[in-house]
Amino acid sequence: MRNFLTSVLAGGLFFLLSGCDFFDNTGTVSGTVRYKGQPLTEGSVSFVNEKGQVATGTIDKSGRYVVSRVPVGPAKVTVQVVSSEGPPPMSFLGGPRTSPKDATGPKVPL
């Protein structure tokens, strides 16, 4: 009975660890992101391997990032920066505004 219980516990532990990708081939990548010599203060860094698996980390206020569970091997690295300033103001070019009834051109029946 004791051997059976030990086998069940060992098998359950192996099942749990394999379900958590405990034996996968990954690593941790860290560094600092700079643009024109200055560290970026926000954004994210992503690693995409040849199988399309993605690992992403956040850039902190000093430009540093840590990305864990990055698959070992060749990867494409992308840096995404989201500006907190928002988009630039829009400007409209053109003449005075007209209503649809004032528009000229071919009439299309609806």
Mean pLDDT estimate for the chain: 76
Contact 56, 44 (CB under 8 A): yes
* Confidence at residue 44, expressed as pLDDT on a 0 to 100 scale: 95
Of 15-24, 68-77, 94-103, the least confident? 15-24
Question: What confidence category does residue 24 fall into, taking pLDDT thresholds of 50, 70 and 90?
Answer: confident
Other CB atoms within a 10 A radius of the CB of residue 53 amount to 14
What span, in angstroms and rounded, lies between the C-alpha atoms of 18 and 9? 14
Query: Which pLDDT band, with edges at 50, 70 and 90, does 71 fall under?
Result: very high
